Amino acid sequence: MKCVVPQDRAVLVGTMAACTGDRSDALQQLLSGPIQPDALVGDYLAEINLSWRAAEMETDESAGFDQGFIESLRKAENGLRKRLEAGTFPRIAVNAGALNPRQLAMNVQAYLSETFGKDGCELLVAYVTGDNVIETLQKPEVFADIRHLSDGKTLSSWGHQPVVANAYIGQWGIVEALRAGAAIVISGRTTDASTIQAIASWWHAWDELNYEKLALGLIAGHLIECGHYVTGGNFCGFRHIEDYFDLAMPIAEIHQDHVVVTKQPGQNGVVNVDTVRSQILYEIQGHFYYNPDVIADLSDIAVFEDGKDRVKVSGVRGLPPPPTLKASIQAYAGYQAEFCAVAIGSEIEAKAKSLEKQIRRIFNIEARLKGGPAALQSFSFQCLGGSGTENAPSENAATATIRILAQAKDASSLSSQNFSGLIIETLCQAYPGFTPHLEYHRTGTPRPYLSYFPALIPRHYLEPMRVHFLSRDSPISIDHPKFTAFVTDLPKQRNYEPTQPQNLARFGPTITIPLGHQVFARSGDKGANVNVGFFPQGGSMEEWDWLRSFLTTEKLLELLGEDASAVKKTERVEFPNMRAVHFVLFGLLGEGVTNTSRIDALGKGIAEYLRSKFVPYPEELYRGFEKRI
């Protein structure tokens, strides 16, 4: 056996990719340090790039997977060769297979054979299927029974014909492949954390009923699935990280009762309680983290420094998994076109309003939104920026962007004569300095857009997961976990205001500062919703008491300003051991990333927007401008 085998110790798992297009040299860098990972994982999928892969397969049946995985292997050839020659080739699990895991498995096996000769031929490559449910949706009883994740509406009431449909399957197909000797396992739409969960369960021989252990594997996966996000990427404290480039990928030490997050010594980036808390709060839904194999209860999760660039995470509990799986369902819903222009200097708001009035008139917007010739499904006029553009140090700093976005069922409704050409007709009568972005011929050309339906699909409709080896005729069939919680027993996300709130007056005189001078935050998307979590810069009880008492639901919506009107519902909880306050903002992204008019389509900027808002902060707790985050 040329591969790593389980031992009686923690398993070391390193991340090689956190998204499609991630750094292709990350694996090479990860293998160059003194820590030798037992396993490597990569998360390549999201709702939006599954639709990209589907579009590729319309013209090329051999496409449909993420090309970046093999490129990473190529760049890391020397490091992989050393591990292979030493008989410690790391196990690798990735979801880069997307819609065509078999083809990627064939390509990977060919690469291994060509690059490493006989030893490469002996490395088994497996692929896992069972996530693609597009054919399952053709059954009328299934179509009528699948419901929207947020509002409970049935798929049959959606009004679109799905073209991409993938259930978020769990870890057990990957586990079985590893048990059967696979060196590399390729899957489609497993959950982001499933590859890490599978490595831990395989290594420690955890079974599907050991929910406490499975929850630990889940939080380990959540911590490192986003790669650099836990070593300094997307981090409020980025200014304090020297050499803020080529950040190290994370490594998780997964023990039997806790996880330690670390990185290769000497590589750029940082792992501390703040980067780890930020990642824990990223794209969660509250105290309960739903997963195909377990529900993790994060209510008592705790983080501790465990040495330089080492953070220990514990306090996670496990509950039986739900009887349904999340599914990402997408359908072509029409066409979309976009036009951008600049507004510079003074009176930005007045300039934007004058142009909007002209555009609405020349477009005959109200009539077109009601139907008839050149009918539109939606129309959005946005002014991006504009505050602080007067007396700016440069023209760039004085510039705001006008963004006009329209959607229609038929491409002809967004032809040049019905969209970009009409805007250009206002060129010489628009506000002073009106200048279109000169690529409007490209962005103004109608292109298909997809509607997104995040769904819950009952497990009994799903085919078993199957593990396929290229060298074997018969796949291994793996049923989904048989023991699941009854719907009536599923934990409901909590929602509450501050417990025993402090009177803010007791903190004494205040100073007006941006919230982000003293408070960390991170936000992200979950379908149509955005989550955002906050925690204080310091570790004192006073700072925590102020933050949790100040950040009520009412206060958060106030800080959101005009954007609060798009929020349909809000849920708020606290994580006392992490001293964090967490919110879910339902509906802020419209239908979700594939169909939202927001420029911040993934919700990652909401945290930074809220941190920029001015708040009255206790003078006694303020560290001063020089010591701000």
Tens digits of residue pLDDT in 354-405:
999 999 999 999 999 999 899 999 999 999 998 878 899 999 999 999 999 9
Mean pLDDT of 508-531: 96
pLDDT at 471: 83
CA angle 77, 83, 85 (to 5 degrees): 100
Task: Kindly indicate the confidence band of residue 152, based on its pLDDT and cuts at 50, 70 and 90.
Answer: confident
Domain with CATH 3.30.1360 in the chain: 504-622
pLDDT at 48: 83
Task: Kindly indicate the confidence band of residue 488, based on its pLDDT and cuts at 50, 70 and 90.
Answer: confident
HSE-up of 333 (CA within 13 Å, CB side)? 22
Q: What's the rounded Cα separation, in Å, for the pair 583 and 552?
A: 10
Q: What's the rounded Cα separation, in Å, for the pair 520 and 279?
A: 11
Asked whether 341 and 406 are in contact (CB, 8 A), the reply is no
Q: DSSP E strands: which ranges in 43-107? A: 91-94
Q: What's the rounded Cα separation, in Å, for the pair 270 and 140?
A: 52
What six digits make up the tokens of 205? 């021989």
Which residues make beta-bridge pairs with 529? 526
Nearest to 109 by CA among 96, 92, 122: 122
Q: Per-residue pLDDT for 150 more than 90?
A: no
Domain with residues 504-622, CATH architecture: 2-Layer Sandwich (3.30)
What six digits make up the tokens of 490? 């599923």
pLDDT at 526: 84
Task: Kindly indicate the confidence band of residue 486, based on its pLDDT and cuts at 50, 70 and 90.
Answer: confident
Q: What's the rounded Cα separation, in Å, for the pair 181 and 585?
A: 44
Task: Kindly indicate the confidence band of residue 272, based on its pLDDT and cuts at 50, 70 and 90.
Answer: very high
Mean pLDDT of 139-143: 90
Distances 549 to 315, 364, 542 between C-alpha atoms, Å: 24, 48, 11
Hey, what amino acid is at 436? P
Report the share of the chain in percent with pLDDT over 90.
90
Q: What's the rounded Cα separation, in Å, for the pair 39 and 22?
A: 19
**Residues 164-205: tens digit of each pLDDT:** 999 999 999 999 999 999 999 999 999 999 999 999 999 999
State the average pLDDT for the chain.
95
pLDDT at 487: 84
Mean pLDDT of 91-109: 98
580-586 and 529-536 beta bridge pairing? antiparallel
Residues contacting 332, CB < 8 A, separation 6+: 160, 161, 163, 448, 449, 450, 451
Task: Kindly indicate the confidence band of residue 14, based on its pLDDT and cuts at 50, 70 and 90.
Answer: very high
pLDDT at 593: 74
pLDDT at 404: 98
Class of domain 335-452: alpha beta
Q: Per-residue pLDDT for 307 more than 80?
A: yes
pLDDT at 151: 84
pLDDT at 368: 96
Task: Kindly indicate the confidence band of residue 114, based on its pLDDT and cuts at 50, 70 and 90.
Answer: very high
Asked whether 311 and 220 are in contact (CB, 8 A), the reply is no
What six digits make up the tokens of 578? 């992490």
pLDDT at 338: 97
**Residues 460-479: tens digit of each pLDDT:** 999 999 999 998 889 999 98
Q: DSSP E strands: which ranges in 409-559? A: 435-436, 447-458, 465-469, 476-478, 510-514, 519-526, 529-536
Domain with CATH 3.30.70 in the chain: 335-452
pLDDT at 480: 85
The 8 Å CB, 24+ separation contacts for 353-362 are 354/430, 354/431, 355/402, 355/426, 355/430, 355/431, 355/434, 356/381, 358/426, 358/429, 358/430, 359/404, 359/422, 359/423, 359/426, 362/422, 362/425, 362/426
Q: What's the rounded Cα separation, in Å, for the pair 153 and 156?
A: 8
Q: What's the rounded Cα separation, in Å, for the pair 440 and 424?
A: 10
Place of tokens 């005189």: 509
**Residues 416-456: tens digit of each pLDDT:** 999 999 999 999 999 999 999 999 999 999 999 999 999 99
Strand, helix or coil at 13?
strand
CB atoms within 10 A of CB 491: 15
Mean pLDDT of 13-24: 97
The 8 Å CB, 24+ separation contacts for 422-426 are 422/359, 422/362, 422/363, 423/339, 423/341, 423/359, 425/362, 426/355, 426/358, 426/359, 426/362
Asked whether 181 and 121 are in contact (CB, 8 A), the reply is no
Question: Would you list the DSSP string of 312-338?
Answer: EEE--EEEPPPSEEEEEEEEEEEEEEE
What six digits make up the tokens of 440? 């409007």
Q: Per-residue pLDDT for 513 more than 90?
A: yes
Exposure b/e, 457-474, CB count within 10 A at least 16 = b: bebebbbebbbbbeeeee
The backbone torsions φ and ψ at residue 458, rounded to the nearest 5 degrees and listed phi first, read -60, 140
pLDDT at 89: 98
Q: Per-residue pLDDT for 1 more than 90?
A: no
What six digits make up the tokens of 89? 């080739």
pLDDT at 41: 98
**Residues 39-58: tens digit of each pLDDT:** 999 999 988 888 889 889 98
pLDDT at 72: 98
Asked whether 67 and 114 are in contact (CB, 8 A), the reply is no
324-344 and 447-458 beta bridge pairing? antiparallel
pLDDT at 328: 94
**Residues 552-603: tens digit of each pLDDT:** 999 999 999 999 999 999 999 999 999 999 999 999 998 887 788 899 999 9
CB atoms within 10 A of CB 117: 10
**Residues 210-238: tens digit of each pLDDT:** 999 999 999 999 999 999 999 999 999 99
Nearest to 185 by CA among 63, 44, 304, 40: 40
What six digits make up the tokens of 117? 């000769």
Asked whether 278 and 578 are in contact (CB, 8 A), the reply is no
Q: What's the rounded Cα separation, in Å, for the pair 165 and 331?
A: 9
Burial of 406 (0-12, 13-18, 19+ CB in 10 A): buried
Task: Kindly indicate the confidence band of residue 330, based on its pLDDT and cuts at 50, 70 and 90.
Answer: very high
Residue 165 per-residue DSSP state? E
